Amino acid sequence: MPAPTLRTLAKSLGLSRTTVSEALRGSSCVKPATAERIKLAAKAAGYQPNPLAGAVMSELRRSRGNAFRGVLAAVALTESDRPLHAGPFFKEILRGATDRASALGFKIELFTAGGDTGVSLSRLDQILQSRGIQGLILMPVWHSPDFTALDWGRYAGVYADYMIEKPALHSICPDHHRSLSTALQQITARGYKRPGMFVQRHHDERLQYRWQGAFFAFQQNNPDCGQVPLLMADEINEKNFTAWFKKHQPDVVLGHNSQALEWMKACGASVPKTHAFVSLNILNSTTPCAGLDQQPAHIGLRAAEILVAKLHRNERGAPQPASLTTIAARWVDGPTIRDKTLARPIREPAEAVLA
């Protein structure tokens, strides 16, 4: 018995082939009751779409003069307590996603909801449906993300951050453990012996303590590199940083806030002569620093690729199971650490500098 096709399926249902195709692709153009009838008939008949044929046809349509296929939504929630330093990272994710989506024949539009926007997620859901938008990139949320107010039976989605459970979607984020390991390798190669790190509590908590875990693993496996306690606090400020710095005497400091450079200098440190500073995210630095480029544009790029692939496969809703894709950071040399060619143990003890 020949395998069922779109043509035979449409004929048996008394519908057009276009209607059947749109329904199986999850298009909102088909009435829900009709779409459900088509899907049940397709399942009963054993119909299986050919993904290779679908990809070829998509490429043929894209190459016919006008490459534009449709709109993807980048959805952001307004949060009053989101740190200002998150802004540049957000913009780079959006830039990477926009560039890659354009190359794949899609346009990205930014939609904001919550906070003082006056737009609830339920209202946004209506807007997206009226626009016929089916692909969503959820932008990073400072607190626990909850997008369950959207009708996920209509959307394919990805989350451009560490983890989302409401709903559980594919996520793309920096590889925090590997990235910190890269930074610590660069530090030890330059002869530093007492690395210390500070991190704002909620910043690491929302990542399930990925930064802390990588730092503790390094200390456990490198006992000769000092055992400077991690500085973690609800807020990292000059007072608690200075007390920690003077007490534990790190010769190199890792953290997200480049303002620590001024606090180090106020304690008598000379960077990079006697001490070093490494930024865990150079995009946030207010002054040139050595450190990690977490490559947020690549996070956006990969998010766009995963989302477009889901649309090509006609996948909607929460995947089973959801996966996490991580992007390794890139090390960037800078003026806050000595060059590898000058690597040597610091001759002057930190205690003498900070007395």
Beta strand 290-293 with 330-332 is: antiparallel
Of residues 39 and 140, the one with the higher pLDDT is 140
Within a domain: 62: no
For the record, the structure tokens of 127 come out as 């807007």
Of residues 174 and 21, the one with the higher pLDDT is 174
Q: Do 89 and 217 have their domain in common?
A: no
Residue 188 structural domain: 176-294+332-354
Residue 198: pLDDT band (50, 70, 90) is very high
Q: Do 215 and 170 have their domain in common?
A: no
Q: Do 202 and 158 have their domain in common?
A: no
Q: Report pLDDT for 349.
A: 36
Q: Do 265 and 281 have their domain in common?
A: yes
Q: Do 74 and 210 have their domain in common?
A: no
Over residues 205-234, the pLDDT tens digits come to 999 999 999 999 999 999 998 899 999 999
Residue 242: pLDDT band (50, 70, 90) is very high
Within a domain: 115: yes
Q: Do 265 and 319 have their domain in common?
A: no
Closest CA to 196 of 132, 156, 243, 153: 243
Within a domain: 61: no
Q: Do 200 and 106 have their domain in common?
A: no
In this structure, of 111-120, 209-218, 324-333, 346-355, the range with the lowest mean pLDDT score is 346-355
Q: Do 75 and 159 have their domain in common?
A: yes
Residue with tokens 């649309």: 311
Within a domain: 59: no
Handedness of CA 279, 281, 285, 291 (dihedral sign): positive
| CA pair distance 217, 243, nearest whole angstrom | 24
| CA pair distance 172, 325, nearest whole angstrom | 5
CB atoms inside a 10 Å sphere around CB 107: 12
Q: Report pLDDT for 54.
A: 55
| CA pair distance 85, 139, nearest whole angstrom | 15
Within a domain: 113: yes
Q: Do 158 and 26 have their domain in common?
A: no
| CA pair distance 329, 295, nearest whole angstrom | 6
Residue 350: pLDDT band (50, 70, 90) is very low
Domain count, the chain: 3
CB atoms inside a 10 Å sphere around CB 102: 14
Within a domain: 182: yes
Radius of gyration of the chain, Cα coordinates, nearest whole angstrom:
26
Q: Do 208 and 340 have their domain in common?
A: yes
Please name the amino acid found at residue 145: P
Determine what percent of the chain is predicted with pLDDT higher than 90. 68
**CATH number of the domain encompassing residue 143:** 3.40.50.2300
| CA pair distance 249, 275, nearest whole angstrom | 10
Residue with tokens 């740190």: 83
Q: Report pLDDT for 226.
A: 87
**Which ranges of the chain does DSSP label H, i.e. alpha helix?**
6-13, 17-24, 32-45, 51-62, 86-103, 121-131, 176-189, 201-205, 210-221, 238-248, 260-266, 296-312, 350-354
Q: Do 125 and 207 have their domain in common?
A: no
CB atoms inside a 10 Å sphere around CB 263: 20
Residue 295: pLDDT band (50, 70, 90) is very high
| CA pair distance 324, 322, nearest whole angstrom | 7
Q: Report pLDDT for 53.
A: 52
Over residues 88-102, the pLDDT tens digits come to 999 999 999 999 999
| CA pair distance 67, 102, nearest whole angstrom | 9
Within a domain: 65: no
Q: Report pLDDT for 64.
A: 54
Over residues 12-70, the pLDDT tens digits come to 888 888 888 888 877 667 888 888 888 888 888 888 766 545 555 555 555 554 555 68
Q: Do 321 and 337 have their domain in common?
A: no
Contact between 284 and 88 under an 8 Å Cβ cutoff? The reply is yes
Within a domain: 1: no
Backbone angles phi, psi at 146, to 5 degrees: -140, 105
Contact between 336 and 264 under an 8 Å Cβ cutoff? The reply is no
